Structure 1
């Protein structure tokens, strides 16, 4: 049940979209300069598109636009064989599904629940991956790029990511059940920057313990 009485925050102020648009544009430019892969750039464009369409046309059309763009991203990653993880592809499919359901049924709960559901699924998947592989996700991922990190460092990074997923899932649920739709959209936009910053900190932590794999080990693994 949505507790409207807890809606203590005001709807989006006219200056907020301008600030968010400028911030997203600057982030997009930085990604281009840093040669970020195509799929990551498309995800940034997807977030920018959602906020822009929401502000002018509402959440239903915004959800439909994001649904279509997410499906395009998924198809591009598959048929163009762009570097992409199963986690990213699953996220795109779920976003496309929940976005379309929001538009089709005219119910914003679909797109709002998506963030909580997908982050819980990611947290469980990461835990199960490490359980069955008997090794940290980050350790295996870096080894595939011919980089070595101690497994206990990889486990710390794994745990940090699991905590982040669960925290985002919980906060998202709290916001969309206690505050207005406009507040949730602002949170969703802010989450893009939080994701980038948090992953940057994890990467910096792991990189302190990272070293190149010996040439002999890469030959054996191939």
Structure 2
């Protein structure tokens, strides 16, 4: 359930884009009403989807705060990035900014993991997971590096899809492709860690 909740803005972006694309006249009218004149019919779906995602992220944070009376730093960072890149897309009527948003988020996460480990000797992956599993120090280091590399690779893949394929393909990838790659990475990580968890237990 938490996994779906975390994906709420992405799911809403996808659904809004598809609905707006299936109703181009209504989408153009709504986009023009919200954002002013000069919007092409082909731009309306992604502009409306971007606006919906910004609203969804605010609602997501509000729901988390109401339930727990605190919000994780990662959610605040996600909000800041969607407001900056999504806001630029809406202001300039240019989808390039929202297409860069996932890459900016991935690369930020990757950079934080690498810099924390190299500059401050803090393994953030270990800090998040150490209460659940016990691993040798070397494995924690490789795990942190693997996540950093994964985020950097995901940022590159996002740009490749955004600039090599149609906008609709990128929207589909944003939900299904990126989520699928994340799940595949987590499963591969689980197989790798299971061996070391057993060794540590023995």
The answer to whether TM tops 0.5 is: yes
* Aligned-residue offset at 1:160: 1.2
Superposed counterparts of 1:78-117, under 5 Å: 78-81=65-68, 85-117=72-104
The reply to whether residue 191 of structure 1 matches residue 154 of structure 2 is: no
Q: CA offset at residue 154 of structure 1?
A: 1.0
Q: What is aligned with 1:159?
A: 145
- Residue 147 of structure 2: SS of its match in structure 1? helix
- Tell me how far apart the structure 2 counterparts of residues 93 and 75 of structure 1 sit (CA, whole Å): 14
Relative to structure 2, which stretch is displaced further, 126-135 or 184-193? Answer: 126-135
Write out the 4+ residue segments of structure 1 that deviate beyond 6 Å after TM superposition: none
- Secondary structure, aligned partner of 1:148: coil
Residue matched to 1:76: 63
**Cross-structure match for 1:56:** 19
1: CA distance, partners of 2:194 / 2:74: 22
Aligned to 2:106: 119
C-alpha separation between the residues in 2 aligned to 1:191 and 1:135? 27
Deviation at 1:100, TM superposition (A): 3.4
CA distance 1:147–1:175, change in 2 (3 Å) = closer
Residue matched to 2:167: 181
User: Is residue 126–residue 144 contact of structure 2 (8 Å, CA) maintained in 1?
Assistant: no
- Distance across 2 between alignment mates of 1:106 and 1:153: 46
Change in 2 beyond 3 A, CA 1:138/1:210: farther
The answer to whether the 8 Å contact 2:12/2:56 transfers is no
Q: Partners of 1:129 and 1:161 in 2: how far apart?
A: 13
Structure 2, unaligned stretches of length 5 or more?
21-44
Relative to structure 1, is the Cα distance of residues 158 and 174 closer, same or farther in structure 2, using a 3 angstrom cutoff?
same
Quick check: 1:67–1:98 contact (8 Å CA) kept in 2?
no
Asked if 1 retains the 8 angstrom alpha-carbon contact of 2:61 and 2:71, the reply is no
Structure 1 residues 146, 160: closer, same or farther in 2, change over 3 A? closer
- Aligned-partner SS, 2:104: helix
What is the TM-score of this pair, normalised by structure 2? 0.74
2:128 corresponds to which of 141, 145, 150: 141
Equivalent in the alignment of 1:46: 9
For the 8 Å contact 1:113–1:173, the answer to whether it is kept is yes
Structure 1 unaligned segments of length 5 or more: list them.
1-31, 212-222
**How well do the aligned residues superpose, as a CA RMSD in angstroms?**
2.5
Structure 2 CA distance for aligned equivalents of residues 157 and 46 of structure 1: 28
Q: Comparing both chains, which one has the higher relative contact order based on Cα–Cα distances under 8 Å and sequence gaps of 6 or more?
A: 1
Q: Equivalent residue of 1:107, what SS?
A: coil
Structure 1 distance, partners of 2:93, 2:117, is 39
